[in-house]
Chains A and B, each alone.
Chain A
Amino acid sequence: MTSNKQTLAQQRKMETETGGRQLRMTVYASLMAALTAAGAYMAIPIGPVPIVLQNLFIYLAGLLLGWRWGLASVGVYILAGAFGLPVFAGGLGGIGRIVGPTGGYLIGFLPAVFLIGWISAKRKGNVVYDVVAMIIGTAVIYAMGVSWLKILTGMTWGKTLAVGMLPFLIGDALKIAAAVPISKALRPIVNKTKEA
């Protein structure tokens, strides 16, 4: 009887704990989605091309939240934009953005965040895995973004790459390098909930 009661109490406790964990991860995923949206406006003004922080937050969503919640975060971000909330770059929302010339990059965020979360979880806290995951994620974003841009504008491959990829590669390398110490600084805050 006593043992039965104890297990019941334990079960209750576990249930409320997982419930609280779920809620906390929901709030974190929303925060990362909002950061991705805000990241389109945040730029570090250096050199001729300012460094826009948006894909830094995509990397961090994968690294910090893992593939499941990272996917939820990016999915809700795209959904919010599709329903007309002003979350895409330049404040223009609406489904027109997703089918527009830059829509491929937006859709590419989904497989990218999945791959980053999935690969980096193979060896937790291993910098090499994190960096490889982010490089693969970036490649996927560009593969989808540039192909869609080429289909819509009908430019040649060379020109599409010159407009839609090459100018941003240095910034991306910088952001991948920056994501490593940033995720290291933030993981304790997030993991406290993730593993509780």
Chain B
Amino acid sequence: MAGLTALGYISGSGRLHRWDPRFKIVALIMVSLASLGTSLPVLSGACLLMLMVVIRAGVPPGALMRDLKPVVLLLLFIFLARALVTPGEQLFVLGPWPVTREGVIAGAAICSRLLLVLLAGVAVMASTRLSEIKAAVEWFLKPIPGVPEKRVGTMLSLIVRFLPHILDQARETGEAQRARGIENRKNPFYRVIRFSIPVLRRTFLTADQLALAMEARCYADDRTDAELVSDRSDWILMGTTVLLCLCLLMF
């Protein structure tokens, strides 16, 4: 669960940090979409490029490796599943299953696709303050009628604030119940209930206190957000990203 807390904002003053968050979000969405239609060599090149961007943004490589370990395991699993089930020319035999050339290529393509989107997300999260993301999301939602953009922005930051708390509560509850021998109970129904009610009760009480604290501080929807400014260099960077994404789609 460290992956959720440690991959946060890292202060810096590089080009990526100074890039207008609205552009960063558009770029992230474009990279995600462009990754859907590309071939393996281009994808792996894009992954390397994105990895360089992430490290340039100030993410320490060691911490990145540690936090991404569960994801890498997941990717490995997806890769193996693909390599084993795709029919085609046989490369070698792993235990009882044949590994095919087509399967290896398809698996590697899917993994680099997921990795590319993941790294792009890491780059944005590392270089953008939550308040900036919030302001950018509000800016995007403003023209949509019927959506209270300020409140949506508040909800987004509340989600990010609640996540580590919930995961802590879940871990604590799980440990407390293991210490009391919950593993002897084989009834899954019993265990789901006994796990969920304390976690939900506690987090709802925290939410109660949070709402009270916000009320006591006169919380209202009209708040001053982080200021968003863009200049020509922002547009130049955006243009470069568009070109790179087009390259991804073309080849």
Q: Which residues in A have some Cβ–Cβ distance to B below 8 Å?
A: 20, 23-24, 26-31, 33-35, 37-38, 41-42, 44, 46-47, 51, 53, 56, 60, 72, 76-77, 79-80, 82-87, 90-97, 99-100, 174-175, 177-178, 181-182, 185-186, 189-190
Contacts and interface: CB of A to CB of B under 8 A. Distances in A.
B159 A177 contact: no
Nearest to B209: A27
Contacts of B70: 91
Contacts of B113: 96
Q: Interface size class for chain B?
A: 35 or more
Contacts of B133: 83, 85
17 contacts: A23-B211, A23-B219, A24-B211, A26-B158, A29-B155, A31-B203, A38-B170, A60-B200, A80-B159, A82-B29, A83-B133, A83-B137, A84-B28, A91-B3, A96-B114, A174-B189, A186-B204
A94 to B, nearest CB: 4
Interface stretch (B32-40, B55-63, B223-231, B236-244): B32-40
Contact of B215 (A20, A37, A87, A96): A20
B215 A76 contact: no
Contacts of A26: 151, 154-155, 158
B71 A28 contact: no
A182 B32 contact: no
Contacts of B205: 189
Interface string B96-130: 00000000000000000110011011001100000
Contacts, number: 167
A53 B163 contact: no
B189 to A, nearest CB: 6
B12 to A, nearest CB: 18
B215 A23 contact: yes
Interface string B62-89: 0000000011001000000000000000
A156 to B, nearest CB: 15
B11 to A, nearest CB: 19
Contact of B203 (A35, A76, A86): A35
B1 interface: yes
B143 interface: no
Contacts of B151: 26
Contact of B114 (A20, A53, A60, A92): A92
A161 B4 CA distance: 32
Given A38-B163, A92-B114, A95-B32, A190 B204 contact: yes
B192 A27 contact: no
B159 A185 contact: no
B152 A76 contact: yes
A84 to B, nearest CB: 5
Nearest to B140: A83
Given A86-B4, A93-B121, A174-B188, 9 more contacts: A27-B207, A27-B210, A60-B200, A76-B155, A92-B71, A94-B121, A99-B32, A174-B189, A186-B200
Contacts of A86: 3-4, 7, 121, 125
B132 to A, nearest CB: 12
Nearest to A189: B204
B25 interface: yes
Nearest to B163: A34
Closest 10 CB pairs of A and B: A30-B158, A96-B32, A34-B162, A27-B211, A96-B117, A178-B192, A38-B166, A24-B211, A30-B155, A94-B32
